[in-house]
Structure 1
Amino acid sequence: MVNSCAKVGIASAVALLLGWAYQAARPPPPAILGSPGGPTVTSPRVRLKDGRYIAYKEAGVDRKTAKFKIIFTHGFASTKESGFPMSQVEEIVCCLVQELAEELGIYMLYFDRAGYGDSDANPARGLKSDATDVEELADALQLGEKFYVVGSSMGGYTAWSCLHYIPQRLAGVALVVPAVNYWWPLPADVSRSAFEKLDVRDRRTSWIAHHMPSLFYAWITQKWFAMSPIVKGERDAFTDWDWEVLTEFRRKNPESGQADPAKATQQGTYESLCRDVTILFGNWEFDPTEIKNPFPNDEGVVSIWQGYEDKIVRVEIQRYVAQKLPWVRYHEHREAGHALPNKDGVGDDIIRELLLGAAHAGLQSGIRQDG
């Protein structure tokens, strides 16, 4: 009798646990933008072929007269309002060679990636859809045959997707501290070395995202185990150098950055954060190290900018990718962490090289260490 009761109790506990897991793994439906009681849309938007809307923000000179047109893809838990850390819009041209100032005209386009901010969620979101979102947005705003792309941090995988899926539309690409996938086809020693240097909480989170993506929402919302410092944006995810740079950047630019962090996830964490992480750490349809050079005649620049001390994006994988793609210009700053683009002058260097090429930007070629 006792054994029977014990078995019934265990079976009930298992059933309850499975029931909890099933319910916890089912994310709530996304909040519908602009619906009664839903988040208010405050940005201009364009409609894509599948009926979704993408929100955007423009800066710089008028797109109709611009010589250079750049599309920026934001990072994790962010929106188009984060911008890009370089000189104020009205001063960008002045930061370049003075005699070229009148010749240069820079138009900048920032947009909320699908599921973030004021851009509709995409239930079929993936690497390819992120690239085609960029292409359709450019076409809707009539940016012309070619445009530049800058992908920062998590937005880096969108930049890789553009290089793979829409290379014919690109005039140049800058990957700025771009996120990496520890399950890319990498040598075992490279992936192991990089992965083992992550905080154990970050290792656990990325492992679940890769091996059990259907449970990732349950994982990211549970309260029993400590969450990834990277996902939560905690101090532990950054180096002391990062913190000093970010503190100084915010002091000098009090109006910059994400004005309302809740705006990023207003449609739900599943449609924004969870999709981001599971796409990044999922099984990619292409190998970044086998991407073909879109500019065989040096008509454009592709660059990677990496901090050696970065605790969020490990340098070992970035170096390996750059070595496999000798046509990519690789810049590694010795003391920098993930806040590299926020360092004084670095954002301008990134844009100078992207638009003007190495010769005009005064930068050396190939893999290099930048101070």
Structure 2
Amino acid sequence: MMGESCANPNRVKLRDGRFLAYREGGVPKEEAKFKIILVHAFGSSKYMYFPASKELIEELGVYCIFYDRVGYGESDSNAKHSVKSEVDDMAELADQLEIGPKFYLVGVSLGAYPMWGSLKHIPHRLSGVAFVSPPVNYLWPSLPEKLTKKDYRRRLLKWFLWISKNAPGLIHFWVFENLFLSIKSIYFSRFRKRTTNSPLRPKVCVRQVCENLREDFVTCFGEWGFEPADLSITQESCVHIWQGKQDKLVPVQLQRCIMQEQPFINYHELPQTGHIILNYDGTCDAILRALLLGEEQLLDKPILSDLPCV
């Protein structure tokens, strides 16, 4: 099970002097046929939960790198944090660990926004990319205003971004203690399905958690200078998006709009799942088979013509 911990995690020193912590999983690097960097969500770490079966990992020959994103866990923060800097961190990590000129990426939830940056800035380094419950930035011009204007999530994000920039101390006092726990209770618990394994939950500093939340939101939902519709994604790009139809954090209607702008993205919409789709048995194996082998599992992939944007 790829979500298990390992002792004494390693760190690499980046060009700007920061340290990035990581751990390795799967088969030994020297024996691997596929090499993947997995990018964790908010509130997670290099010990992220990705319960792909050991049998599949060994059958395919998959080597994985899990790392603490900037400011998380044992990785240093970055005063110049941006979508591009997240991409640079992944590319430099790949270089220092000598995994080759090309690799696969899997990004989960808030850890998925750097995937768009990778498709923008280092498409030549990518063998394939899988987005899992990726967030939608309401500033993307191609999103139809009739869907975003009255979306309560957009209003909540605007309020949160204002607090983040003007009164960050309130994040711990109110957002973390009340709003975040309420959202977790309402949106996560309802659609969560238990598996035979439980995710590892290492102890974290509350102050660090709040700072991670602020940095992630400001970066993810701020100005990027590009949007997914601007990217040159072809049939050979091997890009997948996995989305739960019952997701209350990421509007499925807006995710479908992105697909209309990028028809070569392989879109997998799971009808009975919410935001935490990795907790559903078989999903991680299906993600790897689709990304690495181009195989489709019986997970009710929809026909895009049947999924209107509105």
TM-score category of the 2 structures, normalised to the smaller one:
0.7 to 0.9
Partner of 1:157: 113
Q: 1:260 aligns with which of 179, 202, 208?
A: 202
- Say which one has the larger Rg: 1
Q: 1:365 to 1:106 in 2, by over 3 A?
A: farther
Q: 1:85 aligns with which of 17, 37, 51?
A: 51
Give the number of aligned pairs.
Answer: 299
Shift of 1:211: 4.4
User: Is the CA contact 1:329–1:366 (under 8 Å) kept in the aligned structure 2?
Assistant: no
Aligned in 2, Cα 1:65/1:267: closer, same or farther, shift over 3 Å? farther
Structure 2 Cα separation of the partners of residues 330 and 223 of structure 1:
36
Give the superposed CA RMSD: 2.7
Query: Do residues 235 (structure 1) and 199 (structure 2) align?
Result: no
TM-score by length of structure 1 reads 0.73
Q: Secondary structure at the match of 2:31?
A: coil
**2:125 matched residue in structure 1:** 169
Alpha-carbon distance change, 117 to 232 in structure 1, aligned in 2, over 3 angstroms: farther
Gaps of 5+ in 2: 1-6
Structure 2 length-normalised TM: 0.87
Shift of 1:343: 1.0
1:283 maps to: 223
Aligned to 1:18: none
How big is the shift at 1:171?
A: 0.2
Q: Equivalent pairs: percent with the same residue? A: 38
Give the distance between the partners of 2:176 and 2:63, measured in 1 at CA. Answer: 45
Q: Secondary structure at the match of 2:134?
A: coil
1:74 Cα deviation after fit: 0.3
What letter matches 1:317 in structure 2?
L
The reply on whether 1:67 has 2:33 as its aligned counterpart is yes
- Tell me if the contact between 1:308 and 1:334 (Cα under 8 Å) persists in the aligned partners: yes
**Counterpart residue number, 1:189:** 146
SS at match of 2:208: coil
Aligned-partner residue type, residue 339 of structure 1: I
List aligned pairs for 1:199-278, cutoff 5 A: 203-204=155-156, 206-211=157-162, 213-215=164-166, 217-223=168-174, 227-229=178-180, 234-238=184-188, 240=190, 242-243=191-192, 245=193, 248-249=194-195, 252-254=196-198, 257-262=199-204, 265=205, 268-269=208-209, 271-278=211-218
User: Residue deviations 1:273-301, cap 9 Å, x none?
Assistant: 210111112112211221111xx462x41
Gaps of 5+ in 1: 1-40, 95-100
Contact 1:304 1:331 in 2 (8 A): yes
Task: Indicate if the aligned counterparts of 1:209 and 1:216 stay in contact, CA closer than 8 A.
Answer: no
Give CA deviations for 1:228-278 in whole Å, capped at 9, x if unaligned. 33x7662112362x13x1xx22xx103xx233141xx47724542210111
CA distance in 1 between counterparts of 2:111 and 2:179 reads 19
Q: Contact conserved, 1:308 with 1:335, CA < 8 A, in 2?
A: yes
Q: 2-side partners of 1:154 and 1:368: how far apart?
A: 28
Deviations 1:134-156 (A, max 9, x none): 00000000010100000000011
Q: 1:128 to 1:145 in 2, by over 3 A?
A: same
Does the 8 A contact of 1:61 with 1:105 survive in 2? yes
